[in-house]
Homo-oligomer: A and B are copies of this chain.
Amino acid sequence: MTDAESTEAAVLDAIEARRERVNDAIDEDLPLAEPERLYEASRYLLEAGGKRLRPTVTLLAAEALADVDPLSADYREFPALDGTTVDVMAAAVSIEVIQSFTLIHDDIMDEDDLRRGVPAVHREYDTETAILAGDTLYSKAFEIMLRTEAEPTRSLDAMRTLAETCTKICEGQAYDVAFEDSDDVAVEEYLQMVRLKTAVLYGAAASVPALVVGADQNVVDALYEYGISVGQAFQIQDDVLDLTVPSEQLGKQRGSDLVEGKQTIITLHARAQGVDVDDLVTADSPEAVTEEDIDEAVAVLEEAGSIDYARDLAEDLVEEGKDHLQVLPENEARETLEHIADYLIERGY
């Protein structure tokens, strides 16, 4: 195996080893209740799958801090640093529930029809039900986060992180929508949008377990910054992959961001280099574009240094993210968190 392959294997193993416990916990913490149709719609996307990457980060951060063997502890009665036990799984579920809420509302806003290979909630049900399902998950996430049994001021800090994270995600989504109609977005503005829309939830996933087990504030802050860095790297890598991975592997037309006129870190950089990004691809739908059109556009972007710029930026962010993990004891869970950072930019799709 290459290094990249062994990193990927380690990360996928870590996710796989925790997935069933996370899924069981979701069923426990968000059971099908009355009115049934509302709860079915609320659980629909969660049941459709998803990698459970964020809850895995939460559980790994707790394991690293408690310095226990991975998978050895009961996540519901997890050893906090003060000798009490806390329910760190509740924190993991809460974060995943928030992720699911944002996907449901985003799909309505973006008029996306598919998600995780199944119809979006507003297509499987209807827009009214999808709005309400998202709203239900929103408050459920707060209810679930209240069940960690962390020391009360730490529990309040976790609630504050969750609330502020949700506000930032909304702000990020608003910037993303606004950027679609703007042709002078600066790279810094784009990175700030990514930070808000995508990265803060990784920040919460990594730092909330530190709050719940009672780690020092500098550890909480470092784990938050780990999440921010890898979350930003993850989004930038998505932008790179859209141009560089063959369509069949990507599961959609390569270069669809270009065709749809979506702003990415790559187009923003190219524009700043004087590239006429709007004319890179003349086709106006993913169906109408040819592989040759995309090849030519990618060549222009390579020439401008824009793809390398994005790759370098993602790599720098991953290194920064890993540096923040130095606050953790050296153990297997910490190593897996490092692998996750690497994996986010080494993954092929």
Chain B residues whose CB sits within 8 angstroms of the CB of A166 once the complex forms: 135, 138-139, 142
Chain B residues whose CB sits within 8 angstroms of the CB of A136 once the complex forms: 167, 170-171
Contacts known (A143-B164, A152-B152, A152-B153); A37 close to B159, Cβ less than 8 A: no
On chain A, the number of residues with a Cβ less than 8 Å from chain B's Cβ atoms is 40
Contact (Cβ within 8 A) B138 A109: no
Contact (Cβ within 8 A) A131 B105: yes
6 more contacts with CB within 8 A, not counting A38-B170, A38-B174, A129-B174, are A131-B131, A136-B167, A139-B165, A139-B170, A142-B142, A142-B166
Q: Is residue A9 within 8 Å, beta carbon to beta carbon, of the partner chain?
A: no
Contact (Cβ within 8 A) B174 A35: yes
Chain B residues whose CB sits within 8 angstroms of the CB of A152 once the complex forms: 152-153, 155-156
In chain A, positions 169-221 with a C-beta closer than 8 Å to chain B are 170-171, 173-175, 177-178
Chain B residues whose CB sits within 8 angstroms of the CB of A245 once the complex forms: none
The proximity string for A residues 140-165 relative to B, scoring 1 for CB distances below 8 Å and 0 otherwise, is 10110010000011011001101111
**CA–CA, A131 and B146, complex, Å:** 25
Chain B residues whose CB sits within 8 angstroms of the CB of A38 once the complex forms: 170-171, 174
Q: Which residue from B34, B127, B129, B159 sits with its C-beta under 8 Å from A142?
A: B159
Specify the chain B residue showing the minimal Cβ separation from A163: B142
**CA–CA, A108 and B132, complex, Å:** 11
**CA–CA, A81 and B105, complex, Å:** 42
Contact (Cβ within 8 A) B175 A135: no
Q: Which residue from B37, B143, B160, B173 sits with its C-beta under 8 Å from A167?
A: B143
Q: Is residue A3 within 8 Å, beta carbon to beta carbon, of the partner chain?
A: no
Q: Which residue from B105, B127, B135, B171 sits with its C-beta under 8 Å from A34?
A: B171
Contact (Cβ within 8 A) A170 B135: yes
Sort A-B residue pairs by CB-CB distance and give the 4 closest, nearest first: A139-B166, A152-B152, A142-B163, A38-B174
Q: Is residue A82 within 8 Å, beta carbon to beta carbon, of the partner chain?
A: no
In chain A, positions 101-135 with a C-beta closer than 8 Å to chain B are 105, 108-109, 127-129, 131-132, 134-135
16 A-B contacts, Cβ less than 8 Å apart?
Answer: A34-B171, A37-B178, A38-B170, A38-B174, A128-B177, A132-B174, A132-B177, A134-B135, A135-B170, A136-B167, A139-B167, A142-B162, A143-B160, A146-B156, A146-B160, A156-B159
A109–chain B nearest beta-carbon distance, Å: 4
Scoring A38, A139, A164 by chain B CB atoms within 10 A of each residue's CB, the highest score goes to: A139
Contacts known (A108-B131, A132-B109); A178 close to B142, Cβ less than 8 A: no
Contacts known (A35-B175, A132-B109); A143 close to B163, Cβ less than 8 A: yes
Chain B residues whose CB sits within 8 angstroms of the CB of A165 once the complex forms: 139
Chain B residues whose CB sits within 8 angstroms of the CB of A163 once the complex forms: 139-140, 142-143, 146
Specify the chain B residue showing the minimal Cβ separation from A150: B156
**CA–CA, A140 and B35, complex, Å:** 27
A7–chain B nearest beta-carbon distance, Å: 35
Contacts known (A138-B138, A153-B152); A170 close to B37, Cβ less than 8 A: no
**CA–CA, A174 and B139, complex, Å:** 15
